[in-house]
């Protein structure tokens, strides 16, 4: 088969009324307003339908989970995770041979990486922005989501820094990876403290 030529009737000169077989249409500001209002109402309807699901309502409000270590080699891990529709936050503390304490964020807005890499990111909390070296990789339980981890100096430093309500935003240049706000942080702090005390 030779080269495919453009059908003569599919395109007209630049000032014509058809492009690629579709009619060219200019909307005046009032028409755009009507279109945007219709789109907004459609999204409101979809959101109202989603809100009928108790699980979605809970996720929309955000909530903490405290995964229990089910294997003996995980008994040294204390973890609290705050879930939202945008992604989540994890507060993690390891003991044992390779101790470490981390504040982590995960979500679909963070592109996963095959290997864990170091990346300098901006972490904004309570109006203060820090340029911090972070570890970036994939979310262990969902490889299509990425995760960034910020090292915290110590277990006590993590516990002392957990506010009951805390906004957060993680960015790289002009790109926003994740943003949001957790609530009931003191509940998470107390659960972590209990977990840490049990392993001593």
**pLDDT tens digits, 174-199:** 899 999 999 999 999 999 999 988 87
Give the model confidence (pLDDT) of 35-61 as tens digits.
Answer: 666 666 666 566 556 656 676 677 778
Query: pLDDT for 95-134, tens place per residue?
Result: 877 889 999 999 988 999 989 999 999 999 988 999 989 9
Six-digit token string for 145: 């989501």
3-state secondary structure 89-133: EEEEEECCCCCEEEEEEEECCCCCCCCCEEEEEEEEECCEEEEEE
How high is the pLDDT of residue 149?
A: 93
Q: List Cα–Cα distances, 82 to 60, 106, 131, 144, 169, in angstroms.
A: 11, 10, 23, 19, 14
- On whether the pTM is more than 0.75, the answer is no
Structure confidence by residue, pLDDT tens digits, 78-105: 999 999 888 899 999 988 778 899 999 9
């Amino acid at each position: 088969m030779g080269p495919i030529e453009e059908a003569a009737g599919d395109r007209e000169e630049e000032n014509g009324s058809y492009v690629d077989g579709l009619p060219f249409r200019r909307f005046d500001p009032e028409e755009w307003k009507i279109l945007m209002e219709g789109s907004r109402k459609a999204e409101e309807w979809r959101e109202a339908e989603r809100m009928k699901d108790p699980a979605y309502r809970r996720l929309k409000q955000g909530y903490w989970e405290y995964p229990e270590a089910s294997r003996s080699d995980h008994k040294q891990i204390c973890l609290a995770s705050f879930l939202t529709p945008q992604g989540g936050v994890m507060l993690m503390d390891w003991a044992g041979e390779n101790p470490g304490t981390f504040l982590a964020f995960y979500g679909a807005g963070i592109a996963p990486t095959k290997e864990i890499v170091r990346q300098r990111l901006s972490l904004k909390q309570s109006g203060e922005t820090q340029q911090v070296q972070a570890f970036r990789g994939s979310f262990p339980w969902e490889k299509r989501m990425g995760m960034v981890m910020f090292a915290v100096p110590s277990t006590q430093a993590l516990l002392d820094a957990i506010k009951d309500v805390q906004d957060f935003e993680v960015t790289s240049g002009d790109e926003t990876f994740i943003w949001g706000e957790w609530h009931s942080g003191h509940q998470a702090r107390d659960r972590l403290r209990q977990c840490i005390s049990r392993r001593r």
